[in-house]
Amino acid sequence: MLELHVWGPAFGLPSLDAHCLAAIAYLQQAVPRGKWQLIASCDPALSPTNELPALRNGDIWIGGFRNIFHYLAQCSAGEWVLDAGLPEQEGADCIAFSSFVESHGQPLIDLSLYVSTQNYTTTTRPLYSTLLPFPLPYLTPPSIRATAKQRTSHLGLSSLDIDSDDSSPSASQSIIPDSLRRPRNTVSSLLASNPEASAQIRLDALATSFFEPLQKLRAKKRFFVSESQFSSLDCLVLGYLSLMLVPELPQPWLAQCMKKKFPSLCSWTEELRKTVYGAEVTVHDAFLTKLGDSELDLRMKRLRGRGHLPWKAPDNGGALGIGGVFLSGVADGIPVVGQLRRNTRMRQHGGLTTEDGVESSSFQYLTVIASVVAGLGAVAGYMFHEGLISFGDGEEVKEKGNGDGLGSLGEAGAALGFYANQMDEQVRRQRVMEEMNARNVVPVTEVDVDVEVERTPVL
Amino acid sequence: MPPQESTEKVAEEQSSFSRSTSKVRDFFSIPAPVKQLFDLVPVVTYPPNQLPLRAPKSARIPSLYVFSKDQDAAAGRPSFNPSCLKWQTFLNIAGVDHRLISSNNHSSPTGSLPFLLPAIYGPNSSQDSLVPITSNKFVKYAIEHGGKVEESSSMRYEAYQSLLDHRIRNAWLYTLYLEPLNFSAVAYPLYVLPTSSNPLVRASISHQLRSAAEAELLKNTSIIDTDDLYSEADKAFEALSILLGEDSWFFGSDKPALFDASVFAYTQLLLDDDLGWKEKKLCRALRRRANLVQHRERLLVRYFGGS
């Protein structure tokens, strides 16, 4: 039984990552039903390439979309291959356009879902919170966002990210006090409140340069390279296009551009999305949580939806597993340690040694337990402290309300809310710390940037 | 009464204070005769100095600054850097006459080679015409200066260009900088040795080069997967080979164009035995495609006078 581990569902799609969507489409089309399962995962470290999607066949882990479809061809002795039998020219197009879609589509998705502050804070980040278990939403989305920013930095569109915008107006240069100055509503100042609008022209050009060759390639054909055959390129394009078209975002420039200028691509995406991924996928489908349905209902649902994806409930190793992922995320975030970890990860990949893993696992086990105990102790102490104060009040309310459950629930809710606020506070403090760290590191990064600017052309 | 007295006192103090400050100011102000003398300065203004003798002289033909060895640059041989070689070949194809100057990134206004210093037409050419031209404006420059530029408008252009810019470039970065054998045999003598004779500086520069290549590769994946890089490059060469087919030049045109130059930039360097590749995985992948090898030969003979 093959297991495909992907990032969980979002926007009614089975995953929120383009490559995961592509891998799902590939398995859905190539591998017979019942031979594979889909698992919503949250730990990219599972895969040898440290990225999702990852395919598991017994003890073998395969990471990355390309490696997965190569492996499928291998392990099924050439049976589960979508690109088989394509004419030469079409095969070449398949390779070239796959590279094109990856290299030109990824920046667009990065900009739309991660770099744009408004889209990220109102849509993407909350989505990750629904998918990931408790402490992870504080680490995983920011790190994904950081890589997205890095990938798109050469486009000069970082203005979409208003969080890190430190070009505060040069008020100190003028000697006229604020109260005496007339507010000047210049065009640029009006646009500055909405960075997407001011970058509209460049964003549109970027999106058009991505969609246009695809539209020309498909022309009147049913699929992208061939009239009858669903190829690996179609999987990839479907993954990217549905992630561009389907999400409803506060800044919908990408979907708008696609709908306005390339309606045929839109209809193709909508149609194939329904046949390949099935109807709207929700988080409950992925985690197989019951919404008051009985076993029978669930079974009925599965029977009815033939096109449904073979979800299997994730087993994320309980609190320990999540703790491990959290700690490794924290370690990656620390400037020097993170760099070291990344370096060793790269070196290791050459010849992945199993003894290494065994040796380090007991140590990891200890550190995880120690930190979990310490964290629990701190939280418990704090709760106890808070509880002592609010306990009496709760009793009074209970008595006054004639044992009305609502009153005490309200208290409990308030306490929980307070607890949540405290957690937020901690996170904010942590973020400030990180910012300070980042600021301390600034000179170093500047040097790096310098070097890169100088050296890039060498490469 | 006492309040009035105090205010008077304060006023008195103030006036005495202002008197003393004006005295101080008088003390520091320049005396009139000295000021008159100083107003005459400068007495003589000399003309600006001549540029030092070793400064580059303005030439009758534009100068292309590329990574190259001095003797190679003088002979017009191909540069050893892919992006320099691409634009050098492009200018040759477009028929824009130029001379090569061996240089490095520090000389470029953008921090990257190649760039073109336009020629001077007559002594009264304006300052604007001397602004260096960066590589992204070469096509425009070639068109403005009577070059023959024909661009294919094939829908496949962008896609196959992305094969060169990503798949093949990534494999190139890996094979040149991160394969230890190739780095010491090829990249080190070309990029590091000419910059300095100090071993410390050399070590630091080679570290910078390697980490820059690593960072570039890690932008798109979280791990450098060697097998994936090579197999993708192999597939990319396969696709380019199919695209070229039996034609002489890409996209079935009867003359080479920019795309041919971009392919040549990698094929020339990978097939050049003088560079002394030690780990030849990428070279072997390319040699298997006979029509790409012939394509490189054609361009080499036509624009660089053979090897």
Which two tokens mark A322?
């999540």
Cα A307 from Cα A403, distance rounded (Å): 50
Give me the residue spans of the domains in chain A. Answer: 2-163+187-316, 335-385
Closest CA–CA distance from residue B245 to any residue of chain A (Å): 9
Reading phi first (left if > 0) and then psi (alpha if -120 to 50, else beta), residue A311 is in: beta
Tell me if residue A161 falls in helix, strand or coil: coil
A249 forms beta bridges with: none
Q: Following CA atoms B64, B66, B68, B73 in sequence, which dihedral angle do they give, to the nearest 10 degrees?
A: 0
Nearest Cα of chain B lies from the Cα of A45 at a distance, in angstroms, of: 10
Q: Which residues of B touch A452 (CB under 8 A)?
A: 212, 215
For residue A239, what are the CA distances in angstroms to A269, A305, B240?
9, 21, 25
- CB atoms < 10 A from the CB of B224, how many? 21
Nearest to A95 among B105, B223, B236 (CB): B236
Query: What's the CA gap between A132 and A7, in Å, rounded?
Result: 9
Most A CBs within 10 Å, among B80, B163, B237, to test the A interface: B163
Residues of chain B below pLDDT 50? 1-2
- In A, minimum Cα distance to B115 occurs at A457
Tokens representing residue B174 in the block? 């890996």
**Nearest chain B Cα distance for residue A199, angstroms:** 22
Could you give the CA distance from residue A239 to residue B205 in angstroms, rounded to a whole number?
41
Q: Which residues of A touch B111 (CB under 8 A)?
A: 453-454, 457
- Quick check: A459 and B222 CB within 8 A? no
What is the torsion angle, in degrees rounded to the nearest 10, for the CA atoms of residue B75, residue B188, residue B84 and residue A101?
150
DSSP A84: T
| Cis peptide bond upstream of B256, omega within 30 | no
Contacts of A66 in chain B (CB under 8 A): 228, 232
Q: Is the peptide bond prior to B123 cis by the omega test (within 30 degrees of 0)?
A: no
Query: Which of chain B's residues have a Cβ under 8 Å away from the Cβ of A454?
Result: 105-106, 111-112
Give the distance from residue B222's alpha carbon to the nearest chain A alpha carbon, in angstroms. 6
CA dihedral (A64, A65, A68, A72) in degrees, to 10, reads 180
Q: Cβ B111–A346 below 8 Å, yes or no?
A: no
CB < 8 Å to A453, chain B: 111-112
Instruction: Please say whether the beta carbons of B271 and B286 come within 8 A.
Output: yes
A211-227 per-residue burial string, b: 16 or more CB within 10 A, e: under 16 = bebbbebbeeeebbbbe
Is A211 at the interface with chain B, CB within 8 A?
A: no
Give the residue on A whose Cα is nearest the Cα of B215: A452
Of B84, B172, B226, the CB nearest to A350: B226
Tell which of A50, A446, A454, A458 to mutate to test the B interface (max B CBs under 10 Å).
A458
Q: Mutate which of A51, A108, A459 to disrupt the B interface (most B C-beta within 10 Å)?
A: A459
Alpha-carbon gap: B34 to the closest alpha carbon of chain A (Å): 36
| Amino acid code (one letter) for A247 | P
Query: How many CB pairs below 8 A link A and B?
Result: 132
Chain B residues within an 8 Å CB radius of A103: 162, 165-166
Instruction: Give me the residue from B114, B209, B221 closest to A455, CB to CB.
Output: B209
Q: How far apart are CA A320 and CA A328, in angstroms?
A: 12
**Three-state secondary structure along chain B?**
CHHHHHHHHHHHHHHHHHHHHHHHHHHHCCCHHHHHHHHCCCCCCCCCCCCCCCCCCCCCCCEEEECCCHHHHHHCCCCCCHHHHHHHHHHHHHCCCCEEEECCHHHCCCCCCCEEECCCCCCCCCHHHHCCEEHHHHHHHHHHCCCCCCCCCCCCHHHHHHHHHHHHHHHHHHHHHHCHHHHHHHHHHHHHHHHCCCHHHHHHHHHHHHHHHHHHHHCCCCCCCHHHHHHHHHHHHHHHHHHHCCCCCHHHCCCCCHHHHHHHHHHHHHHCHHHCCCCCHHHHHHHCCHHHHHHHHHHHHHHHCCC
Task: Name the residue of chain B whose CA is nearest to A217's CA.
Answer: B155
A183 touches B at CB < 8 Å: no
Tokens of B93: 């194809």
| In contact, B134 and B115? CB cutoff 8 Å | yes
* Residue A308: per-residue pLDDT: 67
Taking a C-beta distance cutoff of 8 angstroms, is the pair A42, A8 a contact? yes
Phi, psi of B49 (to 5 degrees): -65, 155
Please answer yes or no on whether B159 and A96 come within 8 Å at the CB atom: yes
| SS3 label, residue A135 | coil
CATH number among 1.20.1050, 1.10.10, 3.40.1350, 3.20.20, domain B155-304: 1.20.1050
**Which pLDDT score, from 0 to 100, does residue A165 have?**
45
pLDDT per residue, tens digit, chain A (459 aa), is 888 888 888 888 888 899 999 999 998 888 888 888 888 887 777 778 888 888 988 888 888 888 888 888 888 887 888 888 888 888 899 999 999 999 999 999 999 999 888 889 888 888 888 888 777 788 888 888 888 888 888 887 777 776 554 444 444 455 656 666 665 555 555 555 667 677 788 888 889 999 999 998 888 888 888 888 888 899 999 999 999 998 888 888 899 899 999 999 999 999 888 888 877 777 777 676 655 445 555 555 555 444 567 777 776 666 667 777 777 777 776 766 766 666 666 555 544 333 333 344 455 556 667 777 877 877 777 777 766 545 444 444 444 444 444 444 455 555 555 555 555 666 666 666 666 655 554 443 333 333 344 444 445
Inspect the interface and report whether the beta carbons of B242 and A451 lie closer than 8 Å. no
B223 vs chain A: nearest CA distance in angstroms? Answer: 6
Give the minimum alpha-carbon distance from A458 to chain B in angstroms, rounded to a whole number. 6
- Are residues A126 and A248 in contact, defined by beta-carbon separation less than 8 angstroms? no
Local structure of A4: helix, strand or coil? strand
Q: Work out whether strand B99-102 and strand B133-134 pair parallel, antiparallel, or are unpaired.
A: unpaired
Q: Are B270 and B282 in contact (CB under 8 A)?
A: yes
SS3 of A309, please?
A: coil
For A110, nearest residue in chain B (alpha carbons): B220
- Return the bridge partners of B102, or none: B66
Place of tokens 């001095």: B70
Per CB-CB distance under 8 Å, the chain B contacts of A349 are: 223-226
Distance from CA of A344 to the nearest CA of B (A): 10
Burial call B55-93: b when 16+ CB within 10 Å, e when fewer: eeeeeeebbbbbbbeeebbeebbbbbbbbbbbbbbbbbb
pTM: 0.72
- B-chain residues within 8 Å CB-CB of A97? 159
The whole-angstrom distance between A50's CA and the closest CA on chain B is 6
Strands A54-57 and B63-66, bridge-based pairing: unpaired
CB contact under 8 A, A452 and B162: no
Q: Name the residue facing B162 among A64, A100, A454 (closest C-beta).
A: A100
> In degrees rounded to 5, what are phi and psi of residue A261?
-100, -25
Q: Is A96 in Cβ contact with B243 (below 8 Å)?
A: yes
Contacts of A459 in chain B (CB under 8 A): 169, 172-173, 177, 212-213, 216
Nearest to B166 among A49, A99, A455 (CB): A99
A213 and B159 in contact by Cβ < 8 A? Answer: yes
Amino acid at B298: R
Q: Are B161 and A213 a contacting pair, CB within 8 Å?
A: no
CB contact under 8 A, A217 and B222: no
Measure CB to CB from residue B225 to each of A99, A213, A349 and give the nearest one: A349
- Are residues B213 and A459, on separate chains, in Cβ contact within 8 Å? yes
Q: Give the residue from B242, B251, B292 with the most A CB atoms within 10 Å of its CB, the best one to mutate.
A: B242
